Amino acid sequence: MQRVTISLEEALAGAFDALCAERGYGSRSEAVRDLVRKAIAERGAETADGDCVANLSFVYNHHVRALAQRLIDIGHEHHDLVVTTSHVHLDHEHCLESMILRGRTAQVRAFADLVRAERGVRFGDLNLIAVEPHGRHAGGAAHRHGEHDHLTPQPG
């Protein structure tokens, strides 16, 4: 393990300490490691052209004409990317949809853009994690589960 020293302004250090306490970190080092891992994973996901897993969450107004059906149709047209969906009613007009996606990063991004561009969809956010598919367990034994590989998050 390497030791890294950083300097923070007093106000920033105080806000960081509050964040560490709020999230239950035992030390600043644990929090910094998590922040660095997240930044590296996000950078890898932004530039990756390989495989990924992702969560697309968005709010939409189900009263917008035929929107719910269009969203269902888009999901069916891209069934190879959509692993599962979760649907929550927020109020009399709005729903929260969360889709777990898996596939090539470019295709997942294009799918998310297609969904978010639908009239009536708001607050869409894509959380994407680059993965490396392989047919091995951590111990190294190779095998497959039907037609899918294991997906391991890229190092970070």
The DSSP result for 131-142, as a single string, is EEEESB-TT--B
pLDDT in tens, 10-61: 998 999 999 999 989 999 998 888 888 777 766 666 665 788 899 999 999 9
Q: Report CA-CA distances (Å) from 16 to 26, 33, 38, 67, 103.
A: 13, 13, 16, 42, 36
Rounded distance, CA 128 to CA 99, Å? 12
Q: In terms of C-beta density within 10 A (0-12 exposed, 13-18 middle, 19 or more buried), how is residue 46 classed?
A: exposed
Residue 18 in any domain: the answer is: yes
Among residues 58, 111, 56, the alpha carbon closest in space to that of 80 is found at: 111
pLDDT for residue 130? 83
Residue 5 in any domain: the answer is: no
Residue 143 in any domain: the answer is: no
For the record, the structure tokens of 31 come out as: 């929090």
Residue 35 in any domain: the answer is: yes
Number of structural domains in the chain: 2
- Looking at the fold, whether 43 and 112 belong to one and the same domain comes out as no
pLDDT for residue 4? 84
pLDDT for residue 35? 84
Bridge-based pairing state of the strands 150-153 and 82-89? unpaired
- Looking at the fold, whether 35 and 79 belong to one and the same domain comes out as no
Taking the chain, what is the end-to-end CA distance rounded to the nearest angstrom? 14
Q: What is the DSSP letter of 96?
A: E
- Looking at the fold, whether 76 and 30 belong to one and the same domain comes out as no
For the record, the structure tokens of 140 come out as: 């190294």
- Looking at the fold, whether 86 and 22 belong to one and the same domain comes out as no
- Looking at the fold, whether 98 and 128 belong to one and the same domain comes out as yes
Domain that holds residue 81: 51-134
Give the three-state DSSP class for 112: helix
Residue 147 in any domain: the answer is: no
Rounded distance, CA 134 to CA 139, Å? 13
pLDDT in tens, 79-94: 999 999 999 999 999 9
Rounded distance, CA 110 to CA 55, Å? 14
Q: What strands lie across the sheet with 150-153, from one edge to the other?
A: 82-89, 94-104, 51-61, 121-134, 150-153
Residue 153 in any domain: the answer is: no
pLDDT in tens, 94-152: 999 999 999 999 999 999 999 999 999 988 999 988 887 765 555 555 555 656 666 66
